[in-house]
Amino acid sequence: MYPLIRNRRLRTNEAIRRLVRETIISPDDFLVPLFVVEGNSIKEEIPSMPNYFRLSLDNLEKEVKELWNLGLCSVLLFVKVPDNLKDNAGTEAVSDNGLMQLAIKTVKSACPDMLVMTDVALDPYSAYGHDGIVAIGQILNDETVEVLAEMSVSHAKAGADFVAPSDMMDGRILSIREALDDEGYINTGIMSYSAKYASAFYGPFRDALDSAPVDIQNVPKDKKTYQMDYANRFEAIKETQQDIDEGADIVMVKPGLCYLDIVREIKNEVEVPVAVYQVSGEYAMVKAAAEKGWLDHDAVMMEQLTAIKRAGANIIASYFAKDVVKLLNK
Ligand code: PBG
Tell me the CA–centroid distance for residue 163 and ligand 1, in Å. 15
Q: Which conformational region is residue 217 in: left (phi greater than 0), alpha (psi within -120 to 50 degrees), or beta?
A: beta
Residue nearest to atom 7 of ligand 1 (CA): 202
In whole angstroms, give the CA distance from residue 98 to residue 87: 14
pTM of this structure: 0.97
Task: Give 326's pLDDT tier (boundaries 50, 70, 90).
Answer: very high
Q: What are the residue numbers of the active site?
A: 196, 254
Considering the domain boundaries, does residue 9 fall inside one?
A: no
Atom of ligand 1 nearest to the CA of 211: 10
Residue 200 confidence (pLDDT) = 97
- 281 CA: nearest ligand 1 atom: 14
**Exposure of 289 by Cβ count < 10 A (0-12 exposed, 13-18 middle, 19+ buried)?**
middle
Domain-located, residue 5: no
- Ligand 1 pocket, residue 205 CB under 6 Å: yes
Residue 195: its pLDDT value, please? Answer: 98
State the pLDDT at residue 222: 95
Residue nearest to atom 12 of ligand 1 (CA): 279
Instruction: Please name the residue whose Cα sits nearest to atom 5 of ligand 1.
Output: 166
User: Which amino acid, residue 103?
Assistant: A
User: Is position 243 within any domain?
Assistant: yes
282 is in an annotated binding site: no
- Regarding the beta carbon of 126 and ligand 1, being less than 6 Å apart is answered no
Q: Residue 255: is the preceding peptide bond cis (ω within 30°)?
A: yes
Ligand 1 neighbourhood includes 239 CB (under 6 angstroms): no
Q: Who contacts 33 (Cβ-Cβ below 8 Å, separation ≥6)?
A: 75, 76, 78, 317, 318, 319
Amino acid at 69: N
Q: Please work out, in degrees rounded to the nearest 5, the angle formed at the alpha carbon of residue 41 by the alpha carbons of 37 and 43.
A: 60
Is 99 part of any domain? Answer: yes
pLDDT, tens only, 195-254:
999 999 999 999 999 999 999 899 999 999 999 999 999 999 999 999 999 999 999 999
What digits encode the pLDDT tens for the residues 148-191?
999 999 999 999 999 999 999 999 999 999 999 999 999 999 99
CATH number at residue 62: 3.20.20.70
Ligand 1 and 121: CB distance under 6 A: yes
Q: Is the CB of 280 under 6 A from ligand 1?
A: yes
Average pLDDT value over all residues in the chain: 97
Residue among 49, 100, 123 to mutate when testing ligand 1 (max atoms within 8 A of CB): 123
Assess whether the C-beta atom of 123 lies below 6 angstroms from ligand 1: yes
Q: In a mutational test of the pocket of ligand 1, which residue from 279, 282, 283, 286 has the highest number of ligand atoms less than 8 Å from its CB? A: 279
pLDDT in tens, 50-71: 999 999 999 999 999 999 999 9
Does position 82 have pLDDT exceeding 90, yes or no?
yes
In contact, 264 and 312? CB cutoff 8 Å: yes
The atom of ligand 1 lying closest to the CA of 278 is: 15
The CB of 63 under 6 Å from ligand 1? The reply is no
Domain that includes residue 263, residue range? 23-329
Give the whole-number percent of the chain exceeding pLDDT 90.
97
Any domain includes 160: yes
Residue 1, pLDDT above cutoff 90: no
Is the Cβ–Cβ distance between 278 and 304 less than 8 Å? yes
Q: Check pocket membership of 279 for ligand 1, CB cut-off 6 A.
A: yes
Q: What proportion of the chain, given as a percentage, has pLDDT over 70?
A: 100
> Which atom of ligand 1 lies at the shortest distance from residue 78's CA?
6
Q: Residue 302 in contact with residue 25, Cβ under 8 Å?
A: yes
> Given this model, what pLDDT does residue 73 score?
98
Residue nearest to atom 11 of ligand 1 (CA): 202
> Is the residue at 10 inside a domain?
no
Question: Does 1 map to a domain?
Answer: no
**In total, how many domains does the chain have?**
1
Asked if residue 7 is part of any domain, the answer here is no
Q: How confident is the model over 84-91, as a mean pLDDT?
A: 97
